[in-house]
Amino acid sequence: MARLEIGQIIAVLKEKLPEAVSEEVLDGVDPVIVVKAEQWAAVAELCRDDSRLGFDLLSCITGVDYPEREEGAEIEVIYNLDSTANLHELTVKVKLPRSDPRVASVEGTWATADWHERETYDLVGVIFEGHHNLVRILCADDWVGHPLRKDYEPPDSFHGIKNVIY
Amino acid sequence: MTEAKIRTEEMLLNMGPQHPSTHGVFRVVVRTDGELILESQSHIGYLHRCFEKCAEGNNYLQVVPYTDRMDYLCAMMNNWGYAASIEKLTGIEVPERAEYIRVIVAELNRVASHLLAFGTYGLDIGAITPFLYAFRDRERILKIFEKLCGQRLNYSYVRIGGVTFDMTDEILSDIEAFCDYFDPKIIDEYDNLLSYNGIFISRTANVGVIPADLAISYGVTGPSLRGSGVPRDLRRDAPYGIYDRLEFDVPVGSGEMGQVGDCWDRYMVRMREMRQSIRLVRQAIKDIPDGPFCDKKAFRGVKPKAGETYKKVEGARGEVGFYVVSDGTNIPYRVKARAPSFCNISILDKLTSMSDVMLADLVAIIGSLDIVLGEVDR
Amino acid sequence: MNLAVFTTFLGQAGQAIEEKVIEKGIVDFAADYSTKWDGGGEGGLFLAGAVRWLVETYTVPDWVPLSSVINGTLGAETFPELGGLLITIGMVFGFVNIFAIGAVWSERKVSAHMQCRLGPMEVGPHGLLQTVADGLKLLTKEDIIPRLADKTLFAIAPAVVFAGVLMRFVPLPFGDQLIASDLDLGLFFVAAVGAVEVLGVIMAGWASNNKWSLFATIRTATQMVSYEIPIGIAFVTVILCCGSFSLVDVVNMQGGTLTDIDGEAHNGWAWHWNLFRNPFMLILAITYFIASLAECKRAPFDLPEAESELVSGFHTEYTGMRFALFFLAEYAAMYLVAAVAVVLFLGGWWSGIYWVDEIGMGTDTWLASWLDGVLGPTLTAVLGVLIKVKVFLTKAFILVFIQMWVRWTLPRVRLDQMMYVCWKVLLPASLVCLIGSCLWELATGGASFFGFGIVVK
């Protein structure tokens, strides 16, 4: 058990799942790996279970909406993984088509994903397949739309409460 | 009367959104069999103020006050977490003095936050007096902050590139006086009053036990995780600021009064952390250098290159993280806040289904997780 | 109203009382005129007796409204009976109210000073009138009955609770001769009527149609029914040792001039209190005190109104004066259990100093004779009564203070722990004390341990 550099982490991932990592962005502020959506569940399991990786803590799930990408409108779901034993971290991205953003749920891998995925569904509108209770968490149950989509228009009123913009 | 004629019924009980012990507008629907809780279902979102949406409409500097209002009990750490993420994104160098000031205010704020957790926890268990003792001492810290930045709760003091105001020698001596007053006399007093009280121990020991692996799986961080015996502290494990130069211990729960990871352990980690925070403040005051307290240029506005980063700091409740995406303008493209309370409280439903929890224990568990609803809902 | 007439009347009445008292001696006077109306020669409120005698002696003056009705219809026969009763009720009620006002104020002050604050400071000197102001506020508040509540039960529940507490004041002495009615089964009455209060609380919680109140109701039922048992055993032990159910008899066994089994008189001192009667009594007194905390729903046994768990327990839905009645009842119950503890264990009105106790009792001690010489017999007798009242109330108030002290120090126990304390700690302990006390009495023939072997008759 030791702290691994990003290159070593990618090597471990590629060793077990050679096809999973589609892209490595190592020149940014944080090194990021992009994982194919259909492989994400397997990668997650590997990240948690492989003792060299040992990513036992899922810190954060972020959904980002990119409606005007050159390669087509996309939604990125970003997972920040952390290892409490090995003290290294990893940022994993999954790129989903904006028209039908679907990715496997990882709540079986990290229980905390339950609420994080609900939040991402609520605010960005990503469908996490296999989630046992994918309902809104922050907004009201009958809220319409996903507020953090870039083309979101706030409603004029909600149950008689007017949307007043000062 | 035969036994068959006696019928018992389970009861659905709605705890919250307005309830004295949910520490805000948090709602738990519990299915009870008498006093025993069979199942619970947490509902959040009553305090949702669209922090992330607001952040997309304001420039980088204007977002700072919103971060105050997430975890309003330790606003300094939220400010710091946000500022640190933007600094990481833009590569701004923070002056040495500002780093020291940040440590001082953050640790004081941690003490203030833990004091409130201690006081309200006493209140949850039914002891009212510790609450007022805690507020008496928290008041001293708030007075210092008021002197420092004119605010008692929502400081917006730690900003991108430094801190808002310089720390005068007078305030430094105030802080030193507070440290001498507070540690060890006052914390010992708290321990005598509540921590080692027989009834308190019997109410909290062996209640709401969170095993370490479960805690990590549920993303529990901060004192709640350390209470389960996992020595994870970002100040030591992923040092930011000048924490790598300072000496401090990371207290963890050891099951002194019951099992590892029970409510008493989580409570006690906070009590012990207060001593460590005072220790850190003393070291920082001793070493604080002269010099500028901010990057003046950054104060006028920042415009990071396109890129994204995740930066985490150790807040009073756990890992405060900010995932910031920049598109090269002066307005963030996306800011995602990782709120520790949000993850910590998600374990509640699991805890109630895992073991026999009574209604009074539920209150004890919620209190020991020390949530701030402003942060859960953002 | 004509003030002059009134003052003349008062002056006349005062003079008449004084003459009568000098003629008969205050003890006889009180005994004479207070026992008539409750028939059994069991003692009674001194003041009630005085008023009764006044009414018998004087006709009501003309300026009093309805004087002709009182003088004519009710006459000297019925009015004193009714009047004495009303006055007794009035005095007990008045005492409860005034005590509650004082106790709420002192609870606030005690808690405040324990918590490094000042407490109420605005209304009156040191906030003395704060409770009065709060009472006025509660009086003027809207009386809300929830739409889906059981309206009848909801409305009468506070009255039942309050009546349950108030009734227990009947056999409770406030001092020598100062008692509403010295029932033969006084202690039994206190224990039995206590159940009425539980009933009221259950009514309140059930009728509120609130799940939190319902929880509180269940908790109350379990708690108060359970804790009546250790309390009952404490009563039984004292009854066995003292040989009487009457609270006055129990007190009289603990001080003043004690007559032993051979008819010889002994001086009663503090070590003749039941507390020191035998070693078991000391433990019993502690179990009684703990159980009494639970009985009057005080911390650490305040589960029925655990504000951090059950919002406000059984009175969540109550407002205004109905809520105030619960409040009054709680404080009255605090005094009541403390006063019963004083009667049972702490020597009642006996100060524990023989010479002080004998002031105004007609005994010839050096202090009494000296006071007789200085003040005269009447004033000495009055002084004696006042000292006893003062001693009794002081002891009770000290216990009430300890109740407050405990409340502002300790956290709350959980329901199962509360039951554990009752059934597995207090009950066996008090049973041991009961059996131990019995054996002790048998072995010593009734002699007390610390009382140097006086076998009290």
Render pLDDT for B321-355 as a digit per residue (tens, 0 to 9).
999 998 888 888 889 999 899 989 989 888 888 88
Find the helix or strand (DSSP H, E) in which A127 lies: strand A127-129
Q: Does the distance separating the beta carbons of B35 and C411 come in below 8 Å?
A: no
Which chains have 3 or more CB–CB distances shorter than 8 Å to chain C?
A: B
Delineate the domains of chain B, giving CATH numbers in brackets. Answer: 3-377 (1.10.645.10)
CA-nearest of B344, B341, B347 to B73 is B341
> Distance (Å, rounded) from C-alpha C276 to C-alpha C212?
44
Give me the DSSP letters along B179-220: HHHIIIIIHHHHIIIIIT-HHHHHHHTTSS---HHHHHHTT-
Hunting for tokens 């539920």 — which residue is that? B362
List, as own/partner pairs, every contact residues C126-134 make where C-beta atoms lie below 8 angstroms and the sequence separation is at least 24, other chains included: C130/C105, C131/C100, C131/C101, C131/C102, C131/C104, C131/C105, C132/C101, C134/C104
Residue C181 domain-assigned (yes or no)? yes
- B-facing residues of A in 19-78 (CB < 8 A) are 28-30, 32, 56-60, 62, 64-65, 78
Residue C79 domain-assigned (yes or no)? yes
| Residue C1 confidence (pLDDT) | 40
- Identify whether residues C214 and C312 lie together within a single domain: yes
Q: Which of B271-285, C8-22, C404-418 has the lowest mean pLDDT?
A: C8-22
Given B19, B132, B197, which is nearest C411 (Cβ)? B197
| Residue C428 confidence (pLDDT) | 92
Q: What is the pLDDT of residues C191-223, one digit of tens each?
A: 888 888 888 888 888 888 888 888 888 888 888
Most confidently modeled range among A15-24, B293-302, C64-73, C227-236? C227-236
Q: Does the distance separating the beta carbons of B122 and C415 come in below 8 Å?
A: no
Q: What 3-state class would DSSP assign to A61?
A: strand
Q: What is the pLDDT of residues C294-313, one digit of tens each?
A: 888 887 888 877 777 777 77
Architecture of domain A6-162: 2-Layer Sandwich (3.30)
Distance of CA B343 to the CA centre of its chain: 12
> Distance (Å, rounded) from C-alpha B59 to C-alpha B323?
16
- Identify whether residues C78 and C213 lie together within a single domain: no
Q: Is the pLDDT of residue C226 over 70?
A: yes
Plot region of B205 (φ>0 → left; ψ -120 to 50 → alpha; else → beta): beta
A81 compared with C4, residue with greater pLDDT: A81
Question: Which of C31, C64, C94 is the C-terminal boundary of a domain?
Answer: C94
CA-nearest of C393, B61, B218, B234 to A89 is B234
C44 compared with B257, residue with greater pLDDT: B257
- Identify whether residues C57 and C154 lie together within a single domain: no
Chain C residues with beta carbon closer than 8 angstroms to that of B11: 211
- Touch of C by B (3+ CB pairs closer than 8 Å): yes
| Residue C62 confidence (pLDDT) | 63
Q: Is the pLDDT of residue A83 over 50?
A: yes
Residue of B nearest to A116 (CA): B343
* Extended strands (E) in A2-114: 21-25, 32-35, 57-66, 74-82, 89-97, 102-104
Q: B309 — contact with chain A (CB < 8 Å)?
A: yes
Q: What is the pLDDT of residues B99-156, one digit of tens each?
A: 899 999 999 999 999 999 999 998 888 888 889 899 989 999 999 999 888 888 888 8
Angle, helices C279-295/C377-407, rounded to nearest 10 degrees? 70
C57 vs B105, C144, C297, CA distance in Å? 82, 49, 47
| Residue C402 confidence (pLDDT) | 92
> Distance (Å, rounded) from C-alpha C22 to C-alpha C420?
58
pLDDT level of residue B308 (50, 70, 90 thresholds): confident
Q: How large is the greatest C-alpha to C-alpha distance in chain B, in angstroms?
A: 85
| Residue C20 confidence (pLDDT) | 64
Domain boundaries, chain A: 6-162
Q: Which of A56-70, A140-154, C12-26, C171-185 has the lowest mean pLDDT?
A: C12-26
C178 vs A119, C212, C269, C294, C405, CA distance in Å? 71, 42, 22, 28, 29
Q: What is the pLDDT of residues B20-53, one digit of tens each?
A: 877 878 888 988 888 888 888 888 888 888 888 8
Q: Is the pLDDT of residue C36 over 50?
A: no
> Distance (Å, rounded) from C-alpha B23 to C-alpha B325?
32
Q: What is the pLDDT of residues B34-43, one digit of tens each?
A: 888 888 888 8
Distance from CA of C230 to the nearest CA of B (A): 21
Residue C131 domain-assigned (yes or no)? no
Number of domains observed in the structure of chain C:
2
Distance from CA of B89 to the nearest CA of A (A): 6
| Residue B293 confidence (pLDDT) | 83
Given B323, B346, B347, which is nearest A80 (Cβ)? B323
Distance from CA of B341 to the nearest CA of A (A): 12
Most confidently modeled range among C19-23, C256-260, C448-452? C256-260
Letter for the amino acid at B41? Q
Plot region of C376 (φ>0 → left; ψ -120 to 50 → alpha; else → beta): left
pLDDT level of residue C9 (50, 70, 90 thresholds): low
| Residue C3 confidence (pLDDT) | 52
pLDDT level of residue C40 (50, 70, 90 thresholds): very low
C416 compared with C375, residue with greater pLDDT: C416
Chain B residues with beta carbon closer than 8 angstroms to that of C310: 359
User: DSSP character for B17?
Assistant: S
Residue C317 domain-assigned (yes or no)? yes
Given C114, C117, C306, which is nearest B126 (Cβ)? C306
C10 exposure class (CB count in 10 Å sphere: 0-12, 13-18, 19+): exposed
Q: What 3-state class would DSSP assign to B295?
A: coil
Question: Which of C69, C94, C119 is the C-terminal boundary of a domain?
Answer: C94
CA-nearest of C263, C246, C299, C277 to C408 is C299
Q: What is the mean pLDDT of residues B306-325?
A: 89
Most confidently modeled range among A91-105, C10-24, C256-270? A91-105
B2 exposure class (CB count in 10 Å sphere: 0-12, 13-18, 19+): exposed
Q: Does the distance separating the beta carbons of C111 and B129 come in below 8 Å?
A: yes
> Distance (Å, rounded) from C-alpha C424 to C-alpha C368?
50
- With a pLDDT cut of 70, the percent of chain C lying above it is 76
Mutate to test the interface with C, among B195, B199, B264 (most CBs of C within 10 A): B199
| Residue C12 confidence (pLDDT) | 63
Q: Does the distance separating the beta carbons of C117 and B132 come in below 8 Å?
A: yes
| Residue B235 confidence (pLDDT) | 87
Q: What is the mean pLDDT of residues C325-353?
A: 87
Q: What is the pLDDT of residues B47-85, one digit of tens each?
A: 888 888 888 888 888 888 888 888 888 888 899 999 999
| Residue B114 confidence (pLDDT) | 92
For C72, the domain range is 3-94
Looking only at the bridges linking them, the beta strands covering A57-66 and A74-82 are antiparallel
Residue of B nearest to A29 (CA): B309
Residue C181 exposure: Cα atoms within 13 Å on the Cβ side: 19
CB A83 within 8 A of CB A110: no
CA-nearest of C58, C81, C86 to C71 is C58
Q: What is the mean pLDDT of residues B351-369?
A: 87
Q: What is the pLDDT of residues B176-219, one digit of tens each?
A: 899 988 888 888 888 888 888 888 999 898 888 889 889 999 98
| Residue C15 confidence (pLDDT) | 66
* Extended strands (E) in chain B: 11-15, 27-33, 36-43, 158-159, 162-163, 307-314, 319-326, 334-338, 357-358
> Distance (Å, rounded) from C-alpha C277 to C-alpha B200?
35
pLDDT level of residue B269 (50, 70, 90 thresholds): very high
| Residue C61 confidence (pLDDT) | 62
Q: What is the mean pLDDT of residues A125-134?
A: 88
| Residue C35 confidence (pLDDT) | 46
- Identify whether residues C372 and C439 lie together within a single domain: yes
| Residue B89 confidence (pLDDT) | 87
Q: What is the mean pLDDT of residues C65-77?
A: 56
Average pLDDT, chain A: 85
Q: State both tokens at B173.
A: 């001596």
Q: Does the distance separating the beta carbons of B125 and C306 come in below 8 Å?
A: no
Q: Is the pLDDT of residue C37 over 50?
A: no
